[in-house]
Amino acid sequence: MDNLLQDVRYGLRTLIRQPGFAATAILTLALGIGATTAIFSVVNAVVLRPMPFDQPDRVMVVTNMNTRTGTRNTTISGPDFVDWRAQNRSFELLSYFTGAGETSVTVNNVSDYTAVARVSPGYFGVFGASAKTGRLFTPEEEQPRNADVVVISDAYWRRQ
């Protein structure tokens, strides 16, 4: 115990005599710890934590590959998706998802921006999701020239 107290006193005397070095050391440690914590948070959320649905190892993303350039195109046209689904022999379910973006929505004469994505009726089935209230999409609503139908999140419903 005596050695610990001597070491603490020595450390404090050194910090007082050389405040510039102490500040640099403390700042370096703080930045290192902060960066490590931030990186671990991202890795934990993306890699280590399991996906919030059953059997995430059975969910795949299918994309187009341009054989001439060797690049992947993550955007698939609607007609391509319909063809893929009709010719599917490998997957239990196929669903279409096109990029999330923001759009203006007006509810009770109040405009707001919200995140939106265009999905096919089978999208929620891929993840085993069901509606808490109301219903999800029906296959008939996927047909051309039908009225647009939306599914809103519980959080959005509660906010509005």
pLDDT tens per residue across span 107-160: 888 888 888 888 888 888 888 888 888 888 887 887 777 777 888 888 888 887
* DSSP-assigned letter for residue 132: S
- What range does the domain containing 143 cover? 56-159
- Same domain for 135 and 82: yes
How many structural domains does the chain have? 2
- Same domain for 31 and 89: no
The pLDDT of residue 31 is above 90: yes
Which band of pLDDT confidence, cut at 50, 70 and 90, is reported for residue 39?
A: very high
- Same domain for 150 and 125: yes
- Same domain for 117 and 136: yes
- Same domain for 128 and 61: yes
Tokens 């069901």 belong to residue: 130
Tokens 């009225």 belong to residue: 147
- Same domain for 123 and 102: yes
- Same domain for 83 and 15: no
- Same domain for 140 and 69: yes
pLDDT tens-digit readout, 52-74: 777 777 888 888 888 888 888 77
Domain endpoint, select from 48, 65, 85: 48
Which band of pLDDT confidence, cut at 50, 70 and 90, is reported for residue 19?
A: confident
How much is the pLDDT for 34? 95
Choose the most confident range, by mean pLDDT, from 27-31, 95-99, 136-140. Answer: 27-31
Q: Which residues share a beta bridge with 101?
A: 116
Q: How far apart are CA 28 and CA 32, in angstroms?
A: 6
Region 86-115: what's the mean pLDDT?
84
| Geometric angle at alpha carbon 119, from 72 and 135, rounded to 5° | 160
- Same domain for 64 and 30: no
How much is the pLDDT for 40? 94
Residue 118 · residue 76 · CB < 8 Å: no
Residue 64 · residue 76 · CB < 8 Å: yes
- Same domain for 17 and 92: no
Q: Is 27 helix (H, G, I), strand (E, B) or coil?
A: helix
- Same domain for 6 and 80: no
- Same domain for 100 and 77: yes
